[in-house]
Structure 1
Amino acid sequence: MKNRITTGQIILLLTAIISPFASAHPGHDHQHWSSSLIHLFWILPALIAAGVAIHLYRRKPKTKSEQ
């Protein structure tokens, strides 16, 4: 049996290696009452994109061999 490295495993490895070197964005107070709301607005497009991707994956047509 051959051990093959998939694209997902490569992305996971690169993310694990690079993430300690990433720094948060400077310039505002994280203790301010609106900081949670501002960060929510920044993550919201990523959540929407993930939801659209899941929706499109689930509704892809089945091939004749899968039916």
Structure 2
Amino acid sequence: MAGRQRVVLSQQERQCFRWVEKGKLSSEIGAILKVSENTGNFHVKNAMRKLETTSRTQCVVKARRLPLI
């Protein structure tokens, strides 16, 4: 992480990743959280950018290790 800055995930990003961790698809996460699939993807991609990861799985693992979720 750049400069060892503390990463902060929004509540929506954490919620999305709890469902990603359980294997849910973007469309399922959107339905569960009552948001569009695009909105769910927006939160997931923001978290991936913040954690400097390139995949959803990698992001969940890193978020768990820090621990952010």
Category of TM-score, reference length = shorter chain:
under 0.3
Name whichever structure is richer in helix by fraction: 2
Bigger radius of gyration: 1
Q: Which protein has greater RCO, CA pairs closer than 8 Å, 6+ apart? A: 2
The TM-score, its normalising length taken from structure 1, stands at: 0.26
For normalisation by structure 2, the TM-score amounts to 0.25
